[in-house]
Structure 1
Amino acid sequence: MRLLTLFVLPSSYAFCRLHPDGHIPHWALLGNEFISLTRTDEELSVVCLEENVPEDAQAERGWRCIKVEGPFDFSVSGVHASLALPLAEANISVMGIATYQTDYLLMKEQDLEPAIAVLSKAGHTIRRS
């Protein structure tokens, strides 16, 4: 198993579902923290700071984010599995998002501290931003 250094990002995030043909809203891009945009033929999915999301937006709020210290070459395997497997065994659901350089795990706010305990027990190093 690959042992990793993880950083707990300080803010709360929201997953937002927008029309697939819509424009990326200005509020999604506010701030300098983690943002993820994915467009498919079914939706425009935005993960951004919860504080920026309008009340009337279709959103799942109350997510926290853990960043994996990178970078990783694209040939490196097992990064996500070394995190997701112990969390799944502890019945903690996560959403994984990969970037060019590293991976991010998002989990509901109430699962953050239990997830940190599980990941620490699995041998990963946890740092708080």
Structure 2
Amino acid sequence: MKLKILELTFSVIKLSPTETMPSWVTNCDVFSITRTNEELSIVCPSECLPTNEDFKEVENDWKCIKVEGILDFGLTGILASLANPLAENKVSIFAISTFNTDYFLVKSHSIEKARLVLESEGHSFSNI
């Protein structure tokens, strides 16, 4: 599978489930928002975070690996083929899926290890 490490560094923010979606997030080129009855989660480039906000729950310093191309909904095991070898090598991920493809976040300090693990499993990176 062809993968790409995005250049941006990302943050994951947890807000109250009743909080209104902040308007600043729509200024980001790339972002993901998920609301459940337990939380409002936002994933966005760290550079988009407003400096005047003091987020109580935020995880910074994530790099993003994108699965290149459009994935058919009938395909199975895509995320598992990436997540399982990383888990076996103690690399934690935060996965996001869109209509077209999958993305997963890896802490910056583990991105090189993640790349090596995935290459050893037969995956290739377009930006190396």
The answer to whether the superposition gives a TM-score over 0.5 is yes
State how far apart, in whole Å, the 2-side matches of 1:79 and 1:96 are. Answer: 12
Supply the AA of the counterpart residue of 1:44.
Answer: L
State how far apart, in whole Å, the 1-side matches of 2:48 and 2:15 are. Answer: 15
Q: How much is the aligned-residue C-alpha RMSD, in angstroms?
A: 1.4
Runs of 4+ in structure 1 deviating by more than 6 angstroms, as ranges, are none
| Native 8 Å contact 1:29 1:48 kept in 2 | no
| Native 8 Å contact 1:10 1:128 kept in 2 | no
Cα deviation, 1:63-83, whole Å, max 9, x if unaligned, reads: 110000121111100100110
Cα deviation, 1:3-54, whole Å, max 9, x if unaligned, reads: x10011001000001121212112222232x311000011110000111223
What does 1:1-129 align with in structure 2 at a 5 Å threshold? 4-32=1-29, 34-55=30-51, 56-57=54-55, 58-128=57-127
Supply the AA of the counterpart residue of 1:28.
Answer: V
Q: Report how many residues are paired.
A: 125
Gaps of 5+ in 2: none
State the shift of 1:110 in Å. 0.3
Gaps of 5+ in 1: none
